[in-house]
Amino acid sequence: MDSLSEKIKELRNEYSDSELLIEDLNKNPIMQFTNWLDSAIETKIYEPNAMVLATSFEGKPRSRYVLFKNIIEDKLIFYTHYESPKAQEILSNPNVSGIFYWAEIHRQVRFQGLAKKTNKKISDDYFATRPRGGQLSAWASNQSSVIDNREVITNKIEELEKNFSDNEIPRPEFWGGFEIQVNYWEFWQGRKNRTHDRFCYTQKPTGWEIERLSP
Ligand SMILES: Cc1cc2nc3c(=O)[nH]c(=O)nc-3n(C[C@H](O)[C@H](O)[C@H](O)COP(=O)(O)O)c2cc1C
């Protein structure tokens, strides 16, 4: 760890000095988010739609990455196995928190909200666009269950491939989307000497309130 500690000590990145002012922000946080995501995509960041999603299990936080896939009626959509730990956690406590970090453009977006299953049509439509390999692995994997070896999955996929033959693969009932209704957003722009610009959007009965936060 000693040499690693030395290497970590040397990790001292400075951020560019791109100023973020309240008047630069879109009044609608979804628009602000999509503007920033678009910049991240244009910058060719690898998987700019990867977000850490935190849920809670018996009062203890748990997090993992998922891929943000769409915004439908102002809700953030991702897809997963409906019997996975994350899905079970959401079903027992819909409060979630998520975060994106786009290192190359020195930006972070954090949010909090309430998650629930999307309607079946949203899940069906998305599942139909997945490559066949992804469709088969959705069927084959009982996500996060303990398995003896890799062959458990690869053999199952082979068997499914034979069974489905050339037919269209339907979405399994146990796999689909979640939608997150966000009620709090935070936008972080890295600045020189750690004097970062941060703004939060809080949902009020009158609309979104935007405030500057100390770095
Ligand atoms: C970049 C990245 C993206 C991921 N996207 C998804 C996803 O969209 N849906 C999903 O179920 N798992 C995704 N995973 C896997 C999850 O992080 C996690 O391992 C899995 O869903 C099991 O989580 P759980 O046990 O908390 O339910 C992704 C992992 C990485 C590293």
Kindly state whether residue 192 falls inside one of the protein's structural domains. Answer: yes
Atom of ligand 1 nearest to the CA of 143: 22
Q: Is the pLDDT of residue 15 over 90?
A: no
Q: What is the C-alpha to C-alpha distance for residues 16 and 103, in angstroms, rounded to an integer?
A: 11
Kindly state whether residue 137 falls inside one of the protein's structural domains. Answer: no
Query: What's the domain count of the chain?
Result: 1
Q: Which of 107, 194, 198, 212 is catalytic?
A: 194
Taking alpha carbons only, the member of 53, 178, 180 closest to residue 118 is 178
Kindly state whether residue 83 falls inside one of the protein's structural domains. Answer: yes
Range of the domain at 194: 18-131+173-213
Confidence (pTM): 0.96
Q: Which residue has the tokens 């146990």?
A: 174
Taking alpha carbons only, the member of 168, 102, 169, 178 closest to residue 139 is 169
Query: If you write DSSP's letter for every residue of 26-43 in order, what string do you get?
Result: -SSHHHHHHHHHHHHHHT
Kindly state whether residue 148 falls inside one of the protein's structural domains. Answer: no
Centre of ligand 1 from the C-alpha of residue 140, in Å: 15
Kindly state whether residue 94 falls inside one of the protein's structural domains. Answer: yes
We report the CATH number of the domain holding residue 90 as 2.30.110.10
Q: In terms of C-beta density within 10 A (0-12 exposed, 13-18 middle, 19 or more buried), how is residue 9 classed?
A: exposed
Q: Is the pLDDT of residue 67 over 90?
A: yes
Kindly state whether residue 11 falls inside one of the protein's structural domains. Answer: no
Q: Is the pLDDT of residue 58 over 90?
A: yes
Kindly state whether residue 197 falls inside one of the protein's structural domains. Answer: yes
Q: What is the C-alpha to C-alpha distance for residues 177 and 89, in angstroms, rounded to an integer?
A: 15
- Is there an atom of ligand 1 within 6 Å of 47 CB? yes
Question: In the structure, what pLDDT confidence band is assigned to residue 201 with cuts at 50, 70 and 90?
Answer: very high
Q: What angle do CA 131, 137, 48 make, to 5 degrees?
A: 60
What pLDDT was estimated at residue 214?
Answer: 97
Q: What is the C-alpha to C-alpha distance for residues 96 and 55, in angstroms, rounded to an integer?
A: 5
The residue whose CA has the least distance to atom 26 of ligand 1 is 86
Task: Read off the pLDDT of each residue in 81-89 and give the average, rounded to a whole number.
Answer: 98
Q: Which residues pair with 85 in a beta bridge?
A: none
Q: For residue range 18-32, what is the model confidence (pLDDT) as tens digits?
A: 899 999 999 999 999
Q: Which long-range contacts (CB under 8 A, 24 or more apart) does 32-36 make?
A: 32/185, 32/187, 32/201, 33/109, 33/111, 33/185, 33/187, 34/71, 36/102, 36/107, 36/109, 36/187
Answer left, alpha or beta for residue 122, where phi above 0 means left and psi between -120 and 50 means alpha: alpha
Half-sphere exposure of residue 79, counting CA atoms within 13 Å on the CB side? 23
- Is there an atom of ligand 1 within 6 Å of 112 CB? no
Kindly state whether residue 156 falls inside one of the protein's structural domains. Answer: no
Alpha helices in 132-177 (DSSP H): 132-140, 151-164
Q: For residue range 149-179, what is the model confidence (pLDDT) as tens digits?
A: 999 999 999 999 999 999 999 999 999 999 9
